[in-house]
Each structure stands twice: as C-alpha cells, then as structure tokens.
Copies of this chain bind each other. A is one copy, B any other.
Amino acid sequence: LSSSPTGPVTLMDVAREAGVSLATASRAFNGSTRRVREDLRQRVFAAAEKLDYSANSAAQAMARGRTNVVGLLVRDIADPYFSSIAAGVMRAADGRGLLVTLASTLNDPAREVEHLASLRGQRCRSAILVGSRVQGRALEERLEQEITAFEGTGGRVVTISQPRLPVDTVVPENRAGARSLALELVALGYRRFAVLAGPTRLLASKDRVQGFRDGLAVAGVTAPVVVSGEFSRDGGYDSMNELLDRGNGIDCVFAVNDVMAVGAMAACRQRGLELPRDLALAGFDDIVTLRDVNPALSTVRLPLEDMGRLALDLVESERQQTPRVVKVKGEVLLRASTPRKVAS
C-alpha cells in the first residue's frame, strides 16, 4: 500500500491517492450537484474504497455547523410505550441517513433539561422530547430556556406530548380518547367506575382522567373513584390494591395507561380476582405487550410507531412561523377485558 497505517485515513489521504486536490475530493462526496468531472469522481471513490475511508463527522459537523444526529429523549427506553415510539423514530431516521442518540430522563424533569443541554453540546440537528409534560411553571421555564438555547445553535425541537411548549408537537388526543372510552364502557352496561390515575402533575394522566370524567358526565353516570399512583406497572399494581382494599362496588376500572393496567391485572390475579368476571378493566395506548396479555385488554389505541415517524418528519421539515400541532386520534378497542355486562 502507498500509505502506512498512521492513524485514521483522512480526506487528504484520499485526495492524494486519487491525485486530486482536497477540495475536489470533498466535492466528489457532497458537492451540490454534479460539479466534478466524472473520471475524477470515480478516481476519488476508488481511492476512498481502497483506503477504507470514512468521513470524520466531527470535522464535518464543525465545518458545516450542524450534525446529522437527532437526539431522542424518553423517560425509560425499557417501557414499551417509549420503545415503540423510538423504533418509529429510528426507522424514519434510518431512511434519511440520520443517526439517533438516545437518552433516558428516568422520570426526572431536571434530567430532561440536562440531557437537552448535552444534546446541544453535541450540536444535534434536532431533538425529540417524548413523554408527558409536567405541571410546574418553574420547570417549564427552565426547559423553555434550554429549548431556546438549543434552537440558538440552529437545532430544531419537537415534542410528543401536550402542546405546552412553543415547538412543533405531536399530540395524542388523550382527552377525547378517554371520553370515547367512557362512553363505550357505559354503553356496555358498566355504571360504577374507578380510575387508576398517574401522578397529578403529569398532564397526560390529568387529561385522560378528565376526559373519562367528561364521558361519564355526558352519559349521566356517577363520577368515578380516582386513585393516584406512579405512572408505571408498579404504580398500577399498588393503586389497584389500594382500590380493592377500599372495597367499594366498582364494576369497571380505567387505568390511564396500559402499563398501569397490566400492573393492575397482576394485583387482581394475586388476590384471586378473575377478570373480567369479577371486574372489567381498560387501559390506554395499546402497547405491544397487550398482544400477550390475558384476558385481552380493552384500550385506546395510539399509533406509537407512526407518532415517532411523524415527529421526525416534523423536525426535519421546514420551520414554520408558529408551532405546528399534529393531532393523533386514539381508537377505542374493546376486547375481552370489558365484555358486555349481563344484567346483574
């Protein structure tokens, strides 16, 4: 070989090997419109191939002022809600030749800000924040400030959540979905409802509870008993236990998300309650896990993967004057966990 393996091979090496200038080599790869003579172009490619050249994207990032990586902030990648969305984002990113760097906030809004700052340092071209916004003006302000800083470096931000931030947002229709669900459950014959809610500060939870309440009110049914807990499987498990301990004559439970519902099922199972004979149960999201849960769980379906793709499309599209909002409908799915109620 003409070059000894002294560190990584650079574009300069390729240029030398091809007998062209650095500039020409650069243009051969990413010159706007074919402005390089074909034979030279070929020579450059051949040289690159031979030397096993791989462009240093850090250097490109510096020269261009932007990377081709998009940052993805989720609460917990092991949660199927987030991992499905992540899969959607990654698939879309892949199609555009973008890289995805992932960070988990682990339920801590402060970490969300920290990580976003870190992504800013990386000069990510864009960031996708997924997960419910929380109440609290102080937190929100800190985040807004960081978003401004992020955008100041030329990056774009989008969220998948409630439209509380001045950025493009993919919004699941939590309220409307929960409302529809309530109506359908009433139509099935249920009358005494309970809701397993998440933390009160979580807006997604709040919206779903409210929507469910609305639906019941419209149907003229007694307001539900509400138990609050963590927005997780264990939260659902604990809340269901708490509910059962109280021992009121509930006939249908709505858990504000599927992971909670699934935890609630475990609680029932453990206490010898049989679903849906002894109690009906519904969730929200339609996470993939549900395919394998018994009895099949009624829920409000959100197109998780699509939402991820949508978010990436948004963040890669031309910036608009005012923040866009893409609403995503929830589809009520009635399954075995909420059969039509027979006259009691």
Contact = CB atoms under 8 A, between A and B. Distances in A.
A307 interface: no
B86 A78 contact: yes
Contact of A58 (B52, B62, B289): B62
A54 interface: yes
Which bracket fits the contact residues of A? 35 or more
A115 to B, nearest CB: 9
B121 A56 contact: yes
Quickly give the copy total for this chain: 2
Contacts of A91: 104
Given A78-B84, A104-B90, A291 B121 contact: no
Contacts of A5: 152
Contact of A118 (B77, B86, B99): B99
A292 B291 contact: no
A67 interface: yes
B87 A123 contact: no
A58 B292 contact: no
Interface of A: 5, 7-8, 52, 54-59, 61-62, 67, 69, 76-78, 80, 83-84, 86-87, 90-91, 94, 99-104, 117-118, 120-123, 145, 149, 152-154, 233, 262, 265-266, 269, 288-289, 291-294, 305
Given A54-B153, A58-B58, A90-B102, 7 more contacts: A8-B152, A77-B86, A99-B101, A99-B118, A265-B292, A293-B293, A294-B294
